[in-house]
């Protein structure tokens, strides 16, 4: 466990080399319940996460197996994201779409839930999506830039070239937005994201 200077947040990270990081904030509990810090700039800087967050988003997905993604914003309006689930459970995914990356088109995913309190940091250069695993899931996430419609883009959630193993019952059709039903395939995507020398690593 990485010890931060502030005693209330002690996030663990996947790898100092991996751009996508699974963070597990420490919870301090007693008979009343628990307390946790979900973000502390100094502690996160120790993990190499130095972006400035400027927007917080909050979504409710009423039906189980609502799928949102895969989304990104193009430069110069790219978004780093810090995602957590505050009600229910989701399976959260990041796909490497950095041109020239040796892990281009590869993905990692993790279950985030109100119970486990885990968060996923997804940097610029990765497409992001999640599927809800039960009814009435609420997700919040911090972004390093505000929403820019002209830079909004996406990739098909079920692109066979990516092959995400979404944890849904066999034969289940996810609930999708109209936009996500018609996103392009990765093969048709000319990535504007540069590779920064850090290949994607599995989440611990």
The span from the CA of 174 to the CA of 204, in Å, is 27
Q: How far is CA 202 from the centre of its chain?
A: 14
Catalytic residue among 71, 72, 118, 128: 71
Residue 12 pLDDT exceeds 90? no
The answer to whether 14 touches 107, Cβ cutoff 8 Å, is no
Mean pLDDT of the chain: 92
21's CB contacts (< 8 A; 6+ apart) are 13, 14, 15, 47, 49, 120, 121
Residue 190 pLDDT exceeds 90? yes
Residue 195 pLDDT exceeds 80? yes
Per-residue confidence (pLDDT) for residue 103, from 0 to 100: 97
pLDDT digits (tens, 9 = 90+) for 131-174: 999 999 999 999 999 999 999 999 999 999 999 999 999 999 99
User: Was domain 52-188 assigned CATH 2.60.120.10?
Assistant: yes
Average pLDDT value for residue range 37-59: 95
Pairing of strands 126-132, 89-96: antiparallel
The per-residue DSSP string of 8-22 comes to T-----S-SS-SSEE
Confidence category of residue 7, pLDDT binned at 50, 70, 90:
very low
Confidence category of residue 39, pLDDT binned at 50, 70, 90:
very high
Average pLDDT value for residue range 22-32: 95
> What b/e sequence results for 148-184 when a residue is b if at least 16 CB atoms lie within 10 Å of its CB, and e otherwise?
eeebeebbbbebeebebebebeeeeebbbeeebeebe
Residue 1 pLDDT exceeds 70? no
Per-residue confidence (pLDDT) for residue 17, from 0 to 100: 64
> What's phi and psi for 84, nearest 5 deg?
-145, 155
Catalytic residue among 65, 72, 118, 141: 141
Residue 4 pLDDT exceeds 70? no
> Whole-model pTM above 0.85?
yes
**Catalytic residue check, 71:** yes
């Amino acid at each position: 466990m990485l010890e931060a200077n502030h005693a209330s947040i002690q996030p663990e990270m996947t790898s100092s080399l991996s751009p996508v990081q699974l963070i597990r904030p420490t919870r301090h509990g007693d008979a009343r319940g628990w307390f946790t810090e979900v973000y502390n700039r100094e502690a996160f800087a120790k993990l190499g996460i130095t972006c400035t967050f400027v927007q917080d988003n909050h979504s409710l997905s009423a039906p189980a197996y609502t799928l949102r993604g895969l989304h990104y914003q193009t430069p110069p309006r790219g978004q780093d994201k810090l995602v957590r689930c505050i009600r229910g459970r989701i399976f959260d995914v990041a796909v490497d779409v950095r041109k020239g990356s040796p892990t281009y088109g590869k993905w990692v995913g993790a279950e985030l839930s109100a119970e486990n309190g885990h968060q996923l940091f997804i940097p610029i250069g990765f497409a992001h999506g999640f599927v809800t695993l039960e009814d009435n899931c609420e997700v919040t996430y911090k972004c390093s830039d505000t929403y820019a419609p002209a830079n909004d883009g996406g990739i098909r959630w079920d692109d066979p070239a990516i092959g995400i193993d979404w944890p849904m019952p066999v034969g289940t059709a996810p609930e999708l937005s109209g936009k996500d039903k018609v996103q392009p395939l990765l093969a048709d995507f000319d990535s504007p994201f540069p590779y920064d020398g850090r290949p994607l690593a599995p989440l611990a």
